[in-house]
Amino acid sequence: MSTNEDCIFCKIIRGEIPASVVFEDDVCIAFMDIFPVKEGHCLLIPKKHYTNMFDVDPDVVAHLGRQLAELTRKVNAAFRPDGVLNIVANGSGAGQEVPHLHIHVVPRNHDDEFRFQFPKNYREKMAEREELERAARKIAEA
Ligand code: AMP
Ligand code: ZN
């Protein structure tokens, strides 16, 4: 298994630092976040070191996706929140601090103080269809 010497999550995988593991298999491991936003906040990561969605093997993502559904349902069943957030930050600009791909699973309630912070009044004007079509084409052709 290819791990990265200095990566904190690789150290967890190698058993060099402690983690509270929810489950693991050959490809991935889920463990509790050390600074939980909310009780039940956990992380799902591949065991092989990938930085984020930009370099991860698509087959690994497929496996993570299946396990993510399972983990999300389990968190929901265990804590009965109003909802559960799945979040992945890709790159520091998106808020990624640990450069080893990880998916946050965070229980959420309607009255929670934390949320995605969108710009004020961003919903005042709907986008022009032409603008959306241009953006969709740009992504499709990238
Ligand atoms: P991000 O900001 O998306 O890169 O999130 C990194 C997450 O990893 C944060 O929520 C941290 O609390 C969490 N974290 C960092 N170190 C550890 C650790 N040793 N064990 C568990 N979670 C960790
Ligand atoms: Zn790593």
Task: Say which CATH number the domain at 30 has.
Answer: 3.30.428.10
Contact 9, 45 (CB under 8 A): yes
Q: Which ligand is nearest to the CA of 96?
A: 1
Tell how far CA 91 is from the center of its chain. 12
User: Pick from 15, 16, 14, 47: which is nearest to 30 by CA?
Assistant: 47
Q: Which of 98, 102, 103 for mutating ligand 1's site (highest number of atoms within 8 Å of CB)? A: 98
pLDDT above 90 for 3: no
Question: Which atom of ligand 1 has the smallest separation from the CA of 89?
Answer: 3
pLDDT above 90 for 142: yes
Is residue 68, in this structure, part of any structural domain at all? yes
Rounded-to-integer distance, Cα 141 and Cα 129, Å? 18
Is residue 93, in this structure, part of any structural domain at all? yes
Number of H helices, E strands in the chain: 3, 5
Is residue 66, in this structure, part of any structural domain at all? yes
Whether ligand 1 lies within 6 angstroms of the CB of 89 is answered as yes
pLDDT tens figures, 87-134 = 999 999 999 999 999 999 999 999 998 877 788 898 999 999 999 999
Q: Give pLDDT, residue 119.
A: 87
How many separate domains does the chain show? 1
Is residue 59, in this structure, part of any structural domain at all? yes
**pTM here?**
0.95
Q: For ligand 1, atom 15, name the residue with the nearest CA.
A: 34
Q: Which domain holds residue 41?
A: 8-117
Is residue 94, in this structure, part of any structural domain at all? yes
Structure tokens of 105? 């699973």
pLDDT tens figures, 14-72 = 999 999 999 999 999 999 999 999 999 999 999 999 999 999 999 999 999 999 999 99
